[in-house]
Structure 1
Amino acid sequence: MSDRTLVVGASGLVGSLLVRKMIADGRSKELYLLVRAPLRDHIDGVTVHAAPTTQWPEIIASVKPARAVSCLGSTMKKAGSKQAFAAIDRDLVAEVGKAAKAAGARQFITVSSTMADANASGFYLKTKGQAEQLLRGEGFDRLDIIRPGLLRGERSGETRLGEGLAIIASPVMDLLLHGSLRRFRSIDAGTVAAAIATLLTEDGQGVHIHENDALWELAGR
């Protein structure tokens, strides 16, 4: 059975670290990347598809991945409006999931957010929850939902003032978050990427939600 893996959104923080991890582990032979703009650096041995999102379903159909990972995500500031944010973090994620399922993917992994809930009152968490809900409806053999806390790491070409201040304060805040509140602790993007790399070796079925504690454990395997 093919173990061809497609990473969508490979130019972002988690996506780029996941690609590096898989290459370092010698798992690049059947690795395919899908991005909107060409990557700045050439990656030997990895097939990269750079195309407008309107072409993504066709590309996914041609790749025929056994496993697919969505590292797609934006911010309200970067997107510019609620509608534009939802178009990426809900609609595009769901479209990628639908195309992956149609192409034969048995496993789908998506990077969401802690406290994501389709019934949440806040727009951000509601949108993330709606994306999860749509992916559940695709009926993948295995669906892994990644719900990290605040992501730490350097984002190329982006400045997020509020998030930057939160990251600076996170070492102190993390010390105050215990028990069930550990899910809100900050977590290094490299840890999330390593956890996803581990999940890409997992079989089994069903929907699996992974918050901070599970991500730390998976990354350590």
Structure 2
Amino acid sequence: MTTSIIAGSSGLVGNNILNQLCEKNHKVIAITRKPISSLPPNASELIIDFESFLIEGSLPACDHVFLCLGTTMKIAGNKNNFRRVDFDYSIDIAKKAFESGAKKLTLISSGGADSSSKNFYLRVKGELEDSIIDIGFESVNIFRPGFLTGSGGRKRATSEKIFMKLAKFLDLVLIGSTSKYRSINAKVLAKKMVSTLKSKPGVHYYYYEDFIKP
């Protein structure tokens, strides 16, 4: 049986991936900082301290890793803390999963990610993508969504809740080349990410139009 590891399994997208994999009776290991409430009975969790894990941690044998770690600048407080989570923690999990036998990796990145971008957020996301590709996975699946909507994960700030309600209206003006930045429901995105369990070798990028395909 294929074993998948999910990093960021308590977040909006990661939690949806966790539940969807478990519904398929897939073997799942959820990496988390603290116990997950309502953990599906057929999933196991690996509770870690990321700082010590960077130095001496290792992962159990696995076939596929879903990388859904991420924070916001507001929560991180500054650029260094943001990069610590979104780049350092993420690339370390990816490398340790590769060392443990993972052949495939699926990453949630961001629309507009570019390692040469002047925008700090998009540059970090792009640098992570490039670094993961360099590790050597047989198959790398990079998802670049716009704004995420849906339930689950951390408690949302009032401003985020308001933006979620406005997102559908804002999507109407995102046409043509900008349509890839439209909002996407986390459950829908997670379903597409789960489908990469059957992905072919190579590096694959996914955008809004890919998310909504049957």
Match of 1:48, SS state, is: strand
Q: Note the residue ranges of structure 2 that are not aligned, 5 or more in a row.
A: none
Is 1:19 the counterpart of 2:18? The answer is yes
- Counterpart of 2:201, as a letter, is Q
Within the candidate set 168, 186, 189, 2:186 is matched to: 189
- Paired position in structure 2 for 1:8: 7
C-alpha offsets along residues 50-85 of structure 1, whole Å, 9 cap, x if unaligned? 11112376341xx11111011101000011111000
State yes or no: 1:39 paired with 2:48.
Answer: no
Q: Is the partner of 2:113 in helix, strand or coil?
A: coil
Q: TM-score, normalised by structure 2?
A: 0.93
The verdict on how the C-alpha distance between 1:38 and 1:81 changes in structure 2, with shifts beyond 3 A counting, is: same
Instruction: Give the count of matched residue pairs.
Output: 212
Aligned partner of 1:102 in structure 2 is 99
Matched residue SS, 1:119: coil
Deviation at 1:155, TM superposition (A): 4.4
Aligned-pair identity in percent equals 27
**Which segments of structure 1 move beyond 4 Å, counting only runs of 4 or more?**
none
**Aligned pair partner of 2:208 in 185, 201, 212:** 212
Hey, what's the Cα distance between the residues in 2 that align with 1:67 and 1:182? 30
Question: What SS does structure 2 have at the residue aligned with 1:208?
Answer: strand
* Superposition pairs of residues 46-125 of structure 1, within 5 angstroms: 46-53=43-50, 54-55=52-53, 58-60=57-59, 63-125=60-122
How far apart are residue 111 of structure 1 and its match? Answer: 0.6
Structure 2 equivalent of residue 163 of structure 1: 160
Tell me the CA shift for residue 36 of structure 1.
1.1
Measure, in 2, the Cα distance between the counterparts of 1:9 and 1:88.
Answer: 11
SS at match of 1:171: helix
| Residues 66, 106 of structure 2: 8 Å contact kept | yes
| Cα RMSD (Å) | 1.6
Q: 1:157 Cα deviation (Å)?
A: 4.3
For 2:203 and 2:154, how far apart are their aligned partners in 1? 34
